[in-house]
Amino acid sequence: MGTDSEHIDGALAEGDASGASSSATGSASGAWKKHAGAAAAIVMAILWLVAGVYKLTTISQWQLMLTQILVPVPLSLAGTMAVIMGDLTAGVLLLRPSWRRLGGMLSSVMLIIFMGYFAINYEALRGADCSCFPWVKRAVGPEFFWTDGAMLLLSVAAAWLAPPLRNIRGAVLAVAGIVVISLSALAIDKLGPQPELDVPATIAAGDAQVSLHEGKVFIFFFNPMCPHCVDAGINMSKHKWQAIFVGVATEDEDLTPGFIDDTGLRDVKLTRDIKTLREALPFENPPYAVAIEDGRVTERFPFFEEPELGEKLRELGLIE
């Protein structure tokens, strides 16, 4: 009897030891997954929040960038706001463990959409600027898909290893707050007071001086190597101008004659006063233009798509 009892006690002890070992292994595995998921989520949250805040402070610039990657102008503003709200929402949801699974899923879907869009339009957009983060320059090419692919893996890991989704009501309130902040920033960007621009009295064009304080003047900033500038020039060459048309090359000035020939623009007064004009009429990237009447800026032109361009030029009395 004593021997049997000892065998039973030994078996129970071994079972307890085995169970404890299994529990410890499971606990270690669970801790590893928790930490790995949290790390992936935090990295992606930082990336999305930095990108979202950056775009939120440069809404008009991002709207222009969307048109340059083939988003139609009528959809460009809505697309810009959708991207901004998506970036901020993904970042906020990834930060909080109880919302992390939803944030990881949103992050993954957004990256798949971005990669799919650029893959479909790859030939047309190859080499185009697609910088989503401040201080980080990216262009459409193989490296774009590698970096976004790495972010997609992090997003999937964050969603897969996240705790169960909880407090959905709180997540909805957070998203509502992001929408309010984004729309407020949009109102400030589009409806806020524009700075007064100190238009120079004259600029040199060839051997002559062009007055910017008398009559109507249209100043077109372009980069001769920029395909969007070429398209803008072609659109404007179709009109009969009633204003003085001034062309300003922002770089590669030696290529300007070829640019003028390719676009079909006529009676263009070319100036080299780029520094003076850029300081007085600041902008981010060409193509860009301003309409001036008697020394006052009457309209800014970041977009050059028809028929909106022709309608605005005719309204201002710049073309017949």
**pLDDT 10s digits, 115-165:** 999 999 888 888 777 777 666 677 788 888 899 999 999 999 999 999 998
Backbone angles phi, psi at 112, to 5 degrees: -65, -40
Name the more confident of 24 and 37.
37
Q: Report the number of distinct structural domains present in the chain.
A: 2
Q: State the pLDDT at residue 237.
A: 92
Provide Rg for the chain, Cα atoms. Answer: 29
Residue 172 domain-assigned (yes or no): yes
**Domain stop point among 172, 191, 210:** 191
Q: What's 256's domain CATH number? A: 3.40.30.10
Same structural domain for residues 280 and 225? Answer: yes
Please give the residue that has the higher pLDDT: either 207 or 98: 98
Output the six-digit token pair for 278: 């850029």
Within this chain, do residues 170 and 223 fall inside the same structural domain, yes or no? Answer: no
Residue 14 in any domain: the answer is yes
**pLDDT value of residue 133:** 67
Statement to judge: residues 175 and 206 lie in one domain: no
pTM of the model: 0.73
When pLDDT is averaged across residues 2-26 and rounded to a whole number, the result is 49
pLDDT band at 199 (very low <50, low <70, confident <90, very high): confident
One domain, residues 127 and 269 = no
Chosen domain end from 171, 191, 211: 191
Mean confidence (pLDDT) of the chain? 85
Question: Are 249 and 102 contained in the same domain?
Answer: no
Q: Indicate whether 84 belongs to any domain.
A: yes
pLDDT band at 320 (very low <50, low <70, confident <90, very high): confident
DSSP strands (E only) in the chain: 202-205, 208-211, 216-222, 244-249, 268-271, 288-293, 296-301
- Determine contact, residues 133/46, Cβ cutoff 8 Å: no
Residues 175 and 217 in one domain: no
**Mean pLDDT in residue range 29-51:** 87
Say whether pLDDT at 255 is over 50: yes
Residue 197 lies in a domain: no
Read off the pLDDT of residues 257-288 as tens digits, 9 standing for 90 and up.
999 999 999 989 998 888 888 888 888 788 89
Same domain, 90 and 164: yes
Residues 117 and 227 in one domain: no
Q: Taking 90 as the threshold, does the pLDDT of residue 175 lie above it? A: yes
Is there a single domain that holds both residue 134 and residue 214?
no
- The reported pLDDT for the residue numbered 17 is 46
Does residue 71 lie in a domain region?
yes
How distant, in Å, are the alpha carbons of 153, 159, 166 from that of 94? 14, 9, 13
Do residues 287 and 229 lie in contact, with contact meaning Cβ atoms separated by under 8 Å? yes
pLDDT computed for residue 40 by the predictor: 94
What is the predicted pLDDT for the residue at 279?
86
How does residue 5 score in pLDDT terms, banded at 50, 70 and 90?
Answer: low
Of 84, 47, 49, 46, residue with least CA distance to 65: 84
Domain enclosing residue 90, as ranges? 2-191
Are both 254 and 180 inside the same structural domain? no
Domain finish residue from 191, 218, 237? 191
Same domain? For 40 and 125 the reply is: yes
- Would residue 164 count as lying in a domain? yes
pLDDT tops 50 at residue 221: yes
With both helix axes pointing from N to C terminus, report the angle between 59-68 and 73-95 in degrees, rounded to the nearest 10.
120
The pLDDT value given to residue 295: 87
pLDDT single digits (tens) 63-121: 888 888 888 888 889 999 999 999 999 999 999 999 999 999 999 999 999 999 999 98
Residue 246 domain flag: yes
pLDDT attached to residue 135:
62
Please report whether residue 320 resides in a domain: no
High-pLDDT (> 70) share of the chain, %? 88
Q: Say if residue 58 is in the same domain as residue 160.
A: yes
